[in-house]
Amino acid sequence: MNTQEVIAELNSMVIKDVEDYEAVVKINKLMDELEKNSDSHLACEAMISLLERNPEFEFGTPGEPVHSLEDHPGHYEELLYQSLNRKPTDMTVWMLNRIINAEENEGAKKEQLKLMRKCACNPQADKLAKSSARNYIKYQKEKQMK
C-alpha cells in the first residue's frame, strides 16, 4: 500500500465509538504499511487529523499514530501546533507535553508552553483536553522549580 492510499484510508476512517476495536486493528495495519514507505512523512497531516476528529478514542499508550508521527521529527510538529490551535484533544495535548519535555531551546519551550496554556482554555477542547493541559502546565512549572 503506498502512502497516498494510506492517507486516503486515514482521511476516510470513521471510528464508531470509543470501543471500536476494529478501528485499532485497521490503524495498526495502516501504520505498518506506512512504515514501509520512504515518503511516509506525507501522512503526518492525516494522522493528526485522525487524532483531532476522534478526541475520545483510545489509540493506545501512546498508540500507533503517535509512534508513527514521532518517527518523523521535523515533519509533524507544525501540523500538530495547527491542530492544537483548532481543536486540542487529550492525545494532541499529551504529544505537545512530550515535545516540551524533550525541548532544549528555551525560546521554543516558552512558545510551546504558551500554546499549552491556550489549549487549557480553547473553547473547542473538551473537558479532558483542558484538564490534561492544566495538569501538564502544573507539571512543567514544578519541573522548572527543581
Q: Answer yes or no: is 52 within a domain.
A: yes
Of 30, 56, 52, whose CA–CA distance to 43 is shortest?
30
Q: 50 falls in which pLDDT band (50, 70, 90)?
A: very high
The tens digit of pLDDT for each residue in 61-116 reads: 888 999 999 999 999 999 999 999 999 999 999 999 999 999 999 999 999 999 99
Q: Answer yes or no: is 108 within a domain.
A: yes
Same domain, 80 and 137: yes
Same domain, 61 and 94: no
Domain stop point among 65, 92, 111:
65
Q: Answer yes or no: is 19 within a domain.
A: yes
Quote the pLDDT of residue 18. Answer: 82
Q: Answer yes or no: is 70 within a domain.
A: no
The answer to whether 111 and 75 have CB atoms below 8 angstroms apart is no
Q: Answer yes or no: is 127 within a domain.
A: yes
Same domain, 80 and 61: no
Same domain, 42 and 93: no
The answer to whether 52 and 87 have CB atoms below 8 angstroms apart is yes
Domain enclosing residue 20, as ranges: 1-65
pTM: 0.92
Quote the pLDDT of residue 88. Answer: 98
Quote the pLDDT of residue 143. Answer: 85
Number of domains in the chain: 2
Q: 20 falls in which pLDDT band (50, 70, 90)?
A: confident
The answer to whether 120 and 129 have CB atoms below 8 angstroms apart is no
pLDDT at 146 over 80: no
DSSP, res 38 = T
φ and ψ at residue 60, rounded to 5 degrees: 125, -175
Q: 123 falls in which pLDDT band (50, 70, 90)?
A: very high
Name the CA dihedral angle for 120, 84, 95, 99, rounded to a multiple of 10 degrees: -90
Same domain, 26 and 55: yes
Domain stop point among 65, 93, 108:
65
pLDDT at 56 over 80: yes
Q: Answer yes or no: is 71 within a domain.
A: no
Domain stop point among 65, 90, 111:
65
